[in-house]
Structure formats: C-alpha cells, structure tokens
Amino acid sequence: MKHIWSFEKKILCVSFLICSFQILIAQKSSVIPEFKSQKAQASLDFLSIKMPDDNEANMGFSGIHYNLKFNDFYSGLGIYGSVSGIRGGFFTLGINAGIQKEITPKLFIDTGIHFGGGGGAAAPDGGGAFILPHISLGYQFNKFSVTGGYSYVNFFDDGDIKSDQFYVSLQVPISFDYSNYLHAEKKYTTNELKGSFWEKISNRISVMAHLNNLSPMGDSVNNFGVSLNDKTIRLSGVEINSYITNNWFWLFKTDGAYSGIPAGYMDIFIGGGYHFSMNKNRTNILAKVAVGAGGGGGVDSQGGTLLYPDISIEQKLYDDFYISVNKGFMLSPNQHFNASTLGLGLKYYVNTEGSLADQKDLTKTKFKGLNIIVKQDVYTNAKRVTNPTEDLYQISLQVDLFLKKYIYATGQTSFANFGNAGAYAEGILGVGLQSASLIDKKISVFAQVLGGAAGGGNISTGQGFIVKPSIGFYYHLTDKLNFRAAIGYVKASGGELNSTAFNFGLSYRFSLLTAK
C-alpha cells in the first residue's frame, strides 16, 4: 500500500505540473494582443470644374483619399488641390462616405459624398464649405480598380463655384493590421510572438519633420507679376516614406509657409524614390521624385501642378533616428514657377504590423498608440487683414502618435469651411499629455501645444506662424471611437489673430505593432 500511495502521489504531482504548465501557456498566449485587420483603400480622383467666369479655364481638381471599408460601406478622409487652370494654391480637406455594391464579380456601382472646406487663389469660394457627391461605375482588376461617372460640386456657403462634370478615380487596397488601443506601450520579444498572427513580414516606414527653404529663380513671380527672386520662402512640413522593397519606396510630403512671403502658401506631393545605404547603414542617400500641387501666399503657380526632384543625405544620430539634409528643385512643368530647395529634417525609421523583416533580424516589439481625430474648430472674433472681424470655422484633421503611455507627438491640418475665409488653412505640429482613463474608464483629459504655418482667407497671421495651446477631454464611446472637445486660444506671431478657440469632434484610436 505504501508503494501504491507513493506512486499515486507522483502521478498527482506530475498531473499538477502539467496542468500548471498548460495554465501558464494559456495565460501567456492570452496576454498577446489580439490581431485585427482593417480593410481600407487609397484612391486618386480627378474632375474638371467649370468656373463661374465663362472666360476662365476649368479648374482641374485632383484628390487623394483614404477610406476604411465595412462590407459595402466606406468612410474616410480626402484632400483636394488644383492641378490645372489658374487657381494654383486652391486646397480643400473633407470627409468621405459611400457605398460600393457589386453587380458582377468584376463590375460594381460606387456612390458617395465628400463634405469639406477650403479654397484659395482668390477663387470665389465664400466661406469654403462644399459638397461633392458622385455616382459611378467601377471595374475591379487584380490589384486595383477604376471608376468613372457623374459628380457635382457646390461651394454653398456664399461661394459661386457650382459645377457638374465627369469624374474618374483609381483605387488601390491598402489595409492595415492593428490591436486595441489599450495595449499601447506593451512590449514583447519577437520570440514571444512566434506562432501568433503577428509573426509576419513587417512594413518599413519613415516619418520626418522638416524645414525647407524655397528660393524662387528664373521667371517666378507673385500674383501681381513682381519677381520672387529676392525672396526666401521658409516652409515646415512632414514627409512619410513607405518601403515597397528594401530600397524602393513611395512618399507623401506636405509643407506650409511660415515666413518670407504673405501667409498662405501650401504644397502636397506624392511620388517615390530609391534608398542607398552605406557605412553599415549609418549613412543613407535617397533619390526622390514627386508630383503634386502647390501655391498660395501670392505665389503664381498657374494651375498648381508642381514637380519635385530631390537628393537627400541622412546620418544616423542614435537608435532609429537620423538627421537629413536635402537639396532639390520645385517647379511647374513649363517652369513658370521655378525654385531650388534646401532643407533639414529629423527622421525616424520603424517596422510596423509584423515581427519579421527581410533586411535584418528584429528582436524587440512594442505596440504604439495612434489617435486619428476629425473635428470642427471655431475661432471667435478672428481678426482679418481688411475684412470685418467675425468668427472663423474650420474642418480639421489631427493625428496623435504616442511616444510614451501618456505623451504624444501630434500633427494637424485645418481648412476653413464657414466664416468668409475659404482660403484659410493650417499645418501645425506639437506635443501633448493625456491622462489615464477616469470615472469608470469613460473620461480622459489632455493638454497640448502646437505651432506652425497658417494663413490665407484674409486672416491676419502676418507671415504665417501661429501658436495654439489647448486643454480638453475625451468621452470613450467604444474601444475605438471617442467624442472629443477642447478649448484654448490661437495666436499669430506676426499678425493680429489672437482668438479663443474651441472644437469638438470624433477620434478613432488603435495600436500598431512596431519592431526593431
């Protein structure tokens, strides 16, 4: 009996150890953040808008959009700019909503609406608010789709631009993988993620904040025909590169003027380039070329189409941070506007959405919080250069990247949609602090300070530099969706704009896996 009892004790001990080990495995696997995938698509569209003056050429209007897809329904954001005609510097920002419904496996109907704000280039845009509905027929190819059909645009807040026209669009699927925002700042080794959905090839991207000096030359003039050759237009902006292979990448770049000319200049580019590394990947040379739209601030860019060839040299500072120096040109195709560029930037490289990489072994991962905010801004009694003072309203996009659990870097762009200032726009950067969730985890509070380029629409911002501090709160509706409200003020360093500012809107938050 003694031997039997001893044997039973051993069996019990072994069984206990096995059960404990299984429980530990289950607990370990349960703490790995859930892998989620969001279907989405990027699109590029074009329409030719008939202007109110019959003697004026049509304004070519081209937009870049990014939409999240939920079965047949989609919703997202889009930025438009003038690319032909005489209204270079005319830009807008807006929200999209629509439905894509299959007719056959290849054919589909696409109907939707874009609501936004903006303007510029002395166009009759009123307060800037406009609608752009469309209905079109689409064809699905293997890796992209095209649509064409009818669209209508109406700048309805005292604007005179009303036009119906043919509409054409190209769509490319660009989905992303993510997890719940509450997992932000959690760390794992790549070994801990083995066997999970996160064990896949990552996407390599870089984000750079930069300053550029734009030096016009040749026949470049302002809207009054006066040469710009003695001016240096100082720009601040952001460039994002996403790598297709180890060396080839596509880019998105945008800038706004903060000094050197009257406020209001802006540009947006999309393009690509080649990345060459040396010195054990501590030094990089990048050759880039892009096409886009630009103008405003008195710069005569005719229709607005600009080309941007550039060479950049980067040197590693520490970790994945690099300092970048770039030299290039910015010019219209007929060289009516022609300028050289010289810039300085701070760039950060990161691998996202997976724990593996072709170019190197990754050992550490971390989930980083992202917060995408769409809101309506109001500036009370916004001072004008010549027009009577009145309130200014803007549609605004803000993106927060959390550097630490409660500290975030942020970028914001805004375009006027009501208040008789359709040409006014902002492009500003900053930092903020956000609290943990309070009151049954339903409320978070925050404080932030942003600064950068702003101007246009007769708003008194001097040469374009503003500062914009604010405080506010979030009410968490779901794990992803939040109501947001804030109050603060906006001050132009070289102008009379000095207003109380408040805003309200919605935010969409999640966390992305990053690896190094």
Per-residue pLDDT of 187-205, as tens digits, reads: 999 999 999 999 999 999 9
Distance CA 424, CA 126 (A): 11
| Domains contained in the chain, number | 4
Which among 318, 352, 386 is the end of a domain? 352
**Main-chain dihedrals φ then ψ at residue 395, nearest 5 degrees:** -90, 135
Mean pLDDT, residues 231-242 taken together: 94
pLDDT score, position 11:
41
Mean pLDDT, residues 63-89 taken together: 96
CB 483 within 8 A of CB 475: yes
Residue 150 resides in a domain: yes
The string of pLDDT tens digits covering residues 354-411 is 999 987 889 999 999 999 999 999 999 999 999 999 999 999 999 999 999 999 999 9
Residue 113 resides in a domain: yes
Distance CA 294, CA 226 (A): 19
pLDDT score, position 375:
98
Residues 392 and 439 grouped into a single domain? yes
Give the tokens for residue 79. Answer: 């930025």
pLDDT score, position 16:
44
Residues 369 and 511 grouped into a single domain? yes
Residue 359 resides in a domain: no
Residues 331 and 390 grouped into a single domain? no
Give the tokens for residue 59. Answer: 């304004």
Residues 18 and 43 grouped into a single domain? no
Residue 336 resides in a domain: yes
DSSP state of 24: H
Which among 114, 141, 176 is the end of a domain? 176
Bridge partner list, 177: 37
Which among 138, 159, 176 is the end of a domain? 176
pLDDT score, position 1:
44
Distances (CA, A) of 117 to 122, 347, 425, 468, 488: 15, 31, 10, 20, 22
Distances (CA, A) of 46 to 61, 148, 211: 6, 10, 30
Residue 191 resides in a domain: no
Residues 170 and 247 grouped into a single domain? no
Distance CA 298, CA 308 (A): 20
78 — pLDDT class (breaks 50, 70, 90): very high
Residues 88 and 153 grouped into a single domain? yes
Residues above pLDDT 90, as percent of the chain: 87
pLDDT score, position 358:
82
Please name the helix (run of DSSP H) or strand (run of DSSP E) that holds residue 403, with its range, or none.
none
pLDDT score, position 3:
46
Residue 185 resides in a domain: no
Res. 5: pLDDT tops 80: no
Res. 156: pLDDT tops 60: yes
Residues 8 and 45 grouped into a single domain? no
CB 76 within 8 A of CB 95: yes
Residues 310 and 168 grouped into a single domain? no
Residues 230 and 139 grouped into a single domain? no
Contacts of 315 (CB under 8 A, 6+ apart): 282, 283, 322, 323
Distance CA 161, CA 499 (A): 30
For residue 26, give its domain range: 2-31
Res. 235: pLDDT tops 70: yes
Contacts of 192 (CB under 8 A, 6+ apart): 28, 32
Bridge partner list, 485: 473, 504
Residue 193 resides in a domain: no
**Residue 117: which of 389, 409, 426, 388 has the closest Cα?**
426
Distance CA 156, CA 186 (A): 48
Distance CA 345, CA 209 (A): 6
**Residue 468: which of 444, 493, 504 has the closest Cα?**
493
Bridge partner list, 252: 240, 270
Give the tokens for residue 330. Answer: 């910015």
Give the tokens for residue 460. Answer: 């008194």
Distance CA 333, CA 235 (A): 21
The string of pLDDT tens digits covering residues 12-68 is 444 444 444 444 443 344 479 999 999 999 999 999 999 999 999 999 999 999 999
Residues 240 and 316 grouped into a single domain? yes
pLDDT score, position 356:
93
pLDDT score, position 498:
96
What CATH number does residue 402 fall under? 2.40.160.20
Residues 46 and 25 grouped into a single domain? no
Question: Three-state DSSP class for 430?
Answer: strand
Mean pLDDT of the chain: 92
Question: Three-state DSSP class for 26?
Answer: helix
Longest dimension (CA), the chain: 110
pLDDT score, position 398:
97
4 — pLDDT class (breaks 50, 70, 90): very low
Residue 360 resides in a domain: no
Mean pLDDT, residues 260-269 taken together: 90
pLDDT score, position 24:
41
Residues 395 and 441 grouped into a single domain? yes
Give the tokens for residue 414. Answer: 């805004």
Residues above pLDDT 70, as percent of the chain: 94
pLDDT score, position 28:
42
Distance CA 109, CA 116 (A): 23
The string of pLDDT tens digits covering residues 322-368 is 999 999 999 999 999 999 999 999 999 999 999 999 878 899 999 99
pLDDT score, position 187:
94
